[in-house]
Amino acid sequence: MIINVNEKPVEVAEATTVAALLASMGYPDRGIAVAVNQAVLPRSRWTTTLSDGARLEVVTAVQGG
């Protein structure tokens, strides 16, 4: 199935969770925020299974100044 991550299409297997997707894409365990279909998804719900056409926005914290 195809989902969009930060406006880029990504093919994933059926029953892929948010956590599994993030890990497969190399995102760190900490310092990121995720929204699915324009709704912020708390870390406690990253076990949510993605559906075809889902739109994810992943934002990483940046330090410095």
Residue boundaries of the structural domains of the chain: 2-60
Instruction: Determine the pLDDT at residue 65.
Output: 62
Q: Which CATH class is domain 2-60?
A: alpha beta
Tell me how far apart the alpha carbons of residues 54 and 61 are, in angstroms, rounded to a whole number.
23
Q: What is the pLDDT of residues 22-64, one digit of tens each?
A: 999 999 988 999 999 999 999 999 999 999 999 999 998 877 6
Whether the Cβ atoms of residue 55 and residue 37 lie closer than 8 Å to each other: yes
Instruction: Determine the pLDDT at residue 14.
Output: 95
